[in-house]
Structure 1
Amino acid sequence: MVDDQITKIKEEGHKILCVENVTFSYEDKKKNKARKVILDEVNLSFSKGKITTLIGANGCGKSTLFHLMTKNLEPSKGKIYLEEKNIRGMKQKDFAKRVAIVHQNNEAAADITVNRLVSYGRSPHQGMFASLSTKDKEIIDWALEVTNTKNLRNREVLSLSGGQRQRVWIAMALAQKTDILFLDEPTTYLDIRYQIELLEMIQKLNSDYKITIIMVLHDMNHAVYYSDEILGLKDGKVLIQGNPKEVITTECIEQIYGVRLKVENMNGRKVVMTVR
């Protein structure tokens, strides 16, 4: 089964990440050492060069899935493949050359500058104690340019607004020059203007540089509007996966979130009416 899956990925050439029969559980100390299952035999794949957004109610397993795919957790059962390689056997440095991650909460030293922070994105490509090469500096400049943070490069990170900081963290991830960018709730704590600007930037990174983007979002309409594919989880299982125009319905919203909301078509796009 696993060998067949790898062969299929190689032949099709468009599935960059594959989750194969993944289960994740942990010991529930409140229930006499019973195992609490968070994800239950999950099978799914992610399309190369697309934006896929994970949605689901709190506790559905999407954060656990995110941490499994980014090597912060290991499956209790099953495997995750980055193309033909099982990520469990990949060294962290090799993984960081292929996958960049921006977490929901990020911290920086009080006096660190934007330029210094973004330069850390080159660490997986450097030897110990190596200085930045000309190529490294060019990539850092590119990351600052595409995130519109070049004018901030000499500022201290902690002096920036929330929207500016989030762009800087994404710039550091982009400096890794990876195939995949993971974003964990990138719009959290931002006002609506910065949310839209950030999502438009993410969409442009995908369209201009063909970076595969996998992110977690809570806003349903943002997920629908800015994604090529939606992945909906409930109770540790995949409930829906596909084009938002096809999979987002009143019924699926009710199944995922337990609330019945209208889904309308407006200018060829689905819109979830988030009031009853």
Structure 2
Amino acid sequence: MHQPDFIPQSILITGATGAIGGALALAYAASGVRLILLGQRADRLAVVAQACREQGASVLPVVLDCRDIGALQAWAARCLVNDVPDLLIANAGVNINVSDTAEGELWADMQRLFEVNVLATLALVNAFLPAMRQRGSGQIALVSSLAAYFGLPMTPSYSASKAAIKAYGEGLRALLADEGIAVSVIMPGYVTSPMCEAMPGPKPWQWSPERAAAYIQRGLQSNRARISFPFPLNWGSWWLAVLPAALSQRVLRWIGYRV
């Protein structure tokens, strides 16, 4: 069984060039820790990797477009030859919204979003999970969103993709509970980043990436099933899923979430 206060020594983070991914890399960077950082922007990844090395970590930066599932799976196979991560954080994600164009969400954008947010995440876990199960230990963290509780009218595809990750993570946690592998679903609210700023609508109780990373790290260390924040936005989002849908939709309109 996974023990609370588990301290991972080998950590894989996707989306390491993003706000939360970069902050998580720095939060875990320390002497004796090996970080495997995946990102699409080589220049930003180099900056994050160097900052982590300055904190004493050993860093392997990997520039990879996770939408290329074949390349992702081939890289994972090569990685597993030498390293089965203690902790896998599937953080890579993108967002789109209906106000990007007059036509609303475009199919090409929707397809790309699901390739990154859902298919790449499932492919990554699928690639590393057999080795974790054979070893009998490991931890998987899947970054969902508070938008997974109830679809937001400005970002329906994003909400759907994060709901898929939430359901997958919850099912996976139950599946692996007796195998020594912990699974947590991370459900952030608004975290300061270019992606957050591009989203329309109000952004209450916005956190810095550093604060979010510290909270996530504490939640993973204690093996929490859901790591959701901030309060009271997470509490309110949960209620949106519990209330009748028509009432939840009226609440969203009342507080400013409308197209």
TM-score (normalised: structure 1): 0.34
Structure with higher Rg: it is 1
Instruction: Tell me which protein shows more helix as a share of its residues.
Output: 2
* Larger relative contact order, structure 1 or 2 (CA cutoff 8 Å, min sep 6): 1
Report the TM-score when normalising by structure 2: 0.36
| Richer in strand (by share) | 1
